């Protein structure tokens, strides 16, 4: 099919939507390292994990063998309300940049939660319901995950208890209220409702909380209340599995028009959107069927891939969660004020960590003001107001397209546009007022956190 036939938006028919998620672990020669029990340092058994997570999700978490896992009909029906998401050819951006590169983006912001997180939230809520649970608990920082989970839980009539980092609870009242619209209870963390919350409040009076602390509270509540389990919106293998719907749709849309991507770019916080987007392409790469240049983009203020170490670490600051082998900055690492709330996690998905360590993908870090420059450039020509997180991918897509302009290469670039930025206008305001800083941690600071990694035998 000739080039000018490619539409601005490539949609799939309902019948072309994925019927199974793709599990990239099945094609990995070096499997991601298992989660370890923090006390014994032995691999977590299914039984141990089932105390915290839903049984079906535990099975998915531990499944390194099955390449395809069927998407239950109920989840496929829910997906149909807001999927397939469009794959957009950025004709306007290409023209503005004067690049011979062909740029496509997969837009996941087209649902009320405003991000890709709903893809996994609905799956996790479904399995909780199927198990006959009363409800689930979770933490949220910036609020995207909490919002997505609230929507998913209300759909399945599940109780949803969200522990929201106190500073966000106070500074982001709108997201908090959206969660309440969907019936969730939202508690500022650290609270006085949990042992760990009381302890942290006593030790650090007036603390505004952290993601790691909110995780510890949510896990405690799940473990103590019969009929409740804990759910997490990124990092875990099961989350990347659910997010593979992004990559499968992208690949189906490209295949429909005979387009071959050269380069795939995504922002990386805990790795769920990037892992989902690249999964089927990485599968081809692992099986030796095709090659792609894959780039993870992270903030220079929280550089897990580019300046972290590949080691076992805690997933939370309370050190109650299992240990995961991942690229990490250390579980006590708290990044400087960065407006991309979803990219502030100290660690990275164990699957992506292994793929990166094996040299199958690259990573770059970018500074905040450069990210917002790209966000605005993109908004002005493509119309969509991007989330600060997503704009990390935009920055690198634009930079790569400009390189093509110099070399004359007609590369096909695909990037993930994970969400919209309507709730991030304070960040845009800071950018406009020239009040945005680009704090990059020093080597000494990073070494200090690294020294506290758990000692493994």
Ligand X SMILES: *Cc1c(COP(=O)(O)O)cnc(C)c1O
Q: How far is the CB of 288 from ligand X (least distance, A)?
A: 27
Residue 203, both tokens? 């030790």
Strand segments (E) across 300-381: 309-314, 323-328, 362-366
Torsion of CA 279, 321, 232, 189, to 10 degrees: -140
Per DSSP, 331 falls in state T
Hey, how many other C-beta atoms are within 10 angstroms of the C-beta on 327? Answer: 29
**Tokens 């087209």 map to which residue?**
110
User: Going residue by residue from 234 to 253, which x/- string records binding to ligand X, judged by CB under 6 A?
Assistant: x-------------------
Q: Which of 212, 269, 283, 303 binds ligand X (CB under 6 A)?
A: 269
Q: How far is the CB of 336 from ligand X (least distance, A)?
A: 18
The interface region with ligand X, picked from 20-28, 34-42, 269-277, 323-331 by CB under 6 A, is: 269-277
Residue among 111 and 201 whose Cβ is closer to ligand X: 111
Helical residues (DSSP H) of 67-172, grouped into ranges: 73-82, 91-97, 118-130, 144-155, 166-171
User: Going residue by residue from 59 to 98, which x/- string records binding to ligand X, judged by CB under 6 A?
Assistant: ----------------------------------------
Q: Which of 342, 347, 350, 441 binds ligand X (CB under 6 A)?
A: 342
Q: Which of 125, 302, 343, 375 binds ligand X (CB under 6 A)?
A: 343
The interface region with ligand X, picked from 67-75, 214-222, 268-276, 331-339 by CB under 6 A, is: 268-276
Per the CB < 8 A criterion, the answer to whether 137 and 231 are in contact is: yes
The interface region with ligand X, picked from 68-76, 184-192, 323-331, 385-393 by CB under 6 A, is: 385-393
**Tokens 């805990």 map to which residue?**
270
Residue among 144 and 237 whose Cβ is closer to ligand X: 144
User: Going residue by residue from 272 to 291, which x/- string records binding to ligand X, judged by CB under 6 A?
Assistant: xx------------------
Query: Using the rule CB under 6 A, is 391 a contact of ligand X?
Result: no
Query: Using the rule CB under 6 A, is 303 a contact of ligand X?
Result: no
The interface region with ligand X, picked from 177-185, 200-208, 263-271, 373-381 by CB under 6 A, is: 263-271
Residue among 101 and 267 whose Cβ is closer to ligand X: 267
Query: Using the rule CB under 6 A, is 168 a contact of ligand X?
Result: no
**Which residues are CB-neighbours of 383 under 8 A, at least 6 positions away?**
none
**Which residues are CB-neighbours of 151 under 8 A, at least 6 positions away?**
111, 112, 113, 118, 121, 122, 182
Q: How far is the CB of 201 from ligand X (least distance, A)?
A: 27
Q: How far is the CB of 199 from ligand X (least distance, A)?
A: 28
Residue ranges in 192-231 that form contacts with ligand X under rule CB under 6 A: none
Strand segments (E) across 211-262: 228-230
Query: Using the rule CB under 6 A, is 117 a contact of ligand X?
Result: yes
- From the CA atom positions of the chain, what is the Rg in Å? 21
Burial of residue 195 (CB within 10 Å: 0-12, 13-18, 19+) is exposed
DSSP H/E element including 188: strand 185-189
**Which residues are CB-neighbours of 132 under 8 A, at least 6 positions away?**
227
The residues binding ligand X (CB under 6 A) are 115, 117, 144, 234, 267-273, 342-343, 387, 389-390, 418-419
């Amino acid at each position: 099919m000739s080039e000018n036939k490619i539409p601005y938006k490539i949609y799939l028919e309902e019948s072309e939507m994925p019927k199974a998620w793709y599990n990239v672990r099945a094609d990995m020669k070096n499997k991601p390292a298992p989660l370890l029990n923090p006390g014994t340092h032995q691999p977590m058994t299914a039984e141990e994990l089932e105390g915290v997570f839903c049984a079906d999700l535990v099975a998915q978490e531990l499944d390194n063998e099955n390449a395809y896992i069927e998407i239950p009909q109920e989840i496929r029906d829910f997906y149909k309300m807001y999927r397939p998401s469009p794959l957009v050819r950025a004709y306007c951006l290409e023209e503005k940049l004067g690049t011979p590169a062909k740029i496509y983006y997969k837009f996941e912001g087209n649902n009320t939660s405003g991000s890709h997180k709903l893809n996994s939230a609905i799956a996790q809520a479904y399995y909780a319901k199927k198990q006959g649970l009363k409800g689930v608990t979770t933490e949220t920082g910036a609020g995207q995950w909490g919002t997505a989970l609230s929507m998913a839980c209300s759909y399945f009539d599940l109780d949803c208890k969200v522990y929201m980092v106190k500073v966000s609870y106070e500074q982001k009242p709108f997201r908090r209220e959206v969660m309440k619209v969907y019936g969730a209870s939202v508690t500022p963390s650290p609270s006085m409702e949990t042992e760990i919350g009381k302890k942290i409040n006593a030790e650090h009076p007036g603390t505004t909380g952290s993601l790691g602390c909110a995780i510890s509270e949510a896990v405690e509540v799940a473990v103590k209340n019969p009929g409740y389990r804990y759910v997490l919106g990124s990092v875990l293998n099961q989350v990347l599995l659910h997010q593979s719907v992004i990559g499968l749709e992208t690949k189906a849309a490209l295949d429909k028009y005979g387009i071959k991507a050269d380069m795939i770019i995504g922002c990386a916080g805990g790795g769920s959107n990037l892992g989902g987007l690249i999964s089927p392409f990485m599968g081809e790469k692992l099986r030796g069927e095709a090659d792609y240049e894959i780039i993870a983009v992270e903030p220079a203020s929280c550089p897990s891939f580019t300046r972290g170490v590949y080691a076992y670490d805690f997933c939370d600051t309370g050190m109650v969660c299992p240990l995961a082998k991942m690229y990490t900055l250390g579980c006590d690492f708290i990044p400087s004020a960065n407006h991309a709330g979803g990219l502030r996690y100290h660690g990275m998905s164990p699957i992506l960590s292994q793929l990166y360590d094996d040299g199958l993908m690259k990573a770059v870090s970018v500074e905040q003001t450069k990210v917002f420059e790209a966000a605005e450039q993109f908004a002005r020509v493509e119309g969509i107001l991007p989330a600060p997180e997503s704009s990390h991918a935009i920055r690198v897509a634009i930079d790569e397209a400009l390189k093509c302009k110099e070399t004359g290469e007609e590369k096909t670039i695909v990037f993930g546009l994970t969400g919209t930025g309507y709730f991030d206008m304070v960040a845009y305001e800071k950018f406009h007022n020239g009040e945005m800083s680009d704090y990059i941690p020093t080597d000494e600071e990073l070494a200090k956190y690294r020294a506290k990694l758990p000692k493994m035998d």
